[in-house]
Amino acid sequence: MATRKYQQRLRAEAAEETRRNILDAVYERLREAPATPVSVDKVARTAGVSRSTVYLVFGSRAGLFDALTTDLWWNRAGFQGVVDAVEHPDAREHLRGGIDAGVRVFAAHRDVFRALFSMAQLDADAVGGAIERIEENRAGGMVHLARRLAEQDVLRPDVTVDEAADLLWLLASFDSFDQLFSGRSLPVDEVARILIATAERSLCR
């Protein structure tokens, strides 16, 4: 029984190592050649596995990119900061913490996110629809925050929940971050400060 458990653990560790190698290969392809479509064949060769193994592990191209974006958000970039902001009882602190944490997530792997967002704009299927699903989830998060701001009487009286959600969507986007971070060469702290200040001045009492 002990031998069987040991063998099972070794197989699980080998499977996780294979999965990690494949995700690392996709990450490096995006970072090193952001303008080149990601080829599953090239990813497989870089990871030292067969093309069929990539599909066996992730199921499909969409599954591969979903796993990559999940890995970026949760493991590589520290998305827990966004989760902590959402759970804050004060809606205004939710706004501040959410924007700040989002900026830091984007900054941690800017070049890869830039490649993913740019590829998705040209062809959503190029990244398996992963960015579209991220943006759908983000839209829902902005509506949730806008409603919290309204419920806690933080919104200005001339701003509707829908208007607040739209503006939050804009300010918390990768493109808004990158216009300041790359376009204006501002440090991360300053990018976060500007976006938070703009949100508060536009939306809050």
Give the integer Cα–Cα distance in Å for 117 and 195: 20
Give the integer Cα–Cα distance in Å for 128 and 126: 6
pTM for this model (two decimals): 0.84
| Residue 75 near residue 64, CB atoms below 8 Å | no
Range list of H helices, 88-129: 91-108, 110-122
What pLDDT is attached to residue 69?
Answer: 85
Query: Mean pLDDT, the chain, as a whole number?
Result: 89
Give the integer Cα–Cα distance in Å for 93 and 85: 7
Task: Report the pLDDT averaged over residues 133-144.
Answer: 91
Report the alpha-carbon angle 29-34-39, nearest 5: 45
Give the integer Cα–Cα distance in Å for 196 and 116: 25
* CA-closest candidate to residue 154, choices 97, 198, 195, 94: 94
Asked if the model's pLDDT at residue 94 lies above 90, the reply is: yes
Task: Report the pLDDT averaged over residues 70-95.
Answer: 83
What pLDDT is attached to residue 2?
Answer: 65
What pLDDT is attached to residue 98?
Answer: 93
Number of residues that make up the chain: 205
Token readout for 30 is: 């995006």
| Residue 113 near residue 104, CB atoms below 8 Å | no
Q: How many CB atoms lie within 10 A of CB 201?
A: 9
Give the integer Cα–Cα distance in Å for 138 and 66: 15
Distance of CA 118 to the CA centre of its chain: 14
More confident residue, 120 or 94: 94
Give the integer Cα–Cα distance in Å for 86 and 88: 6
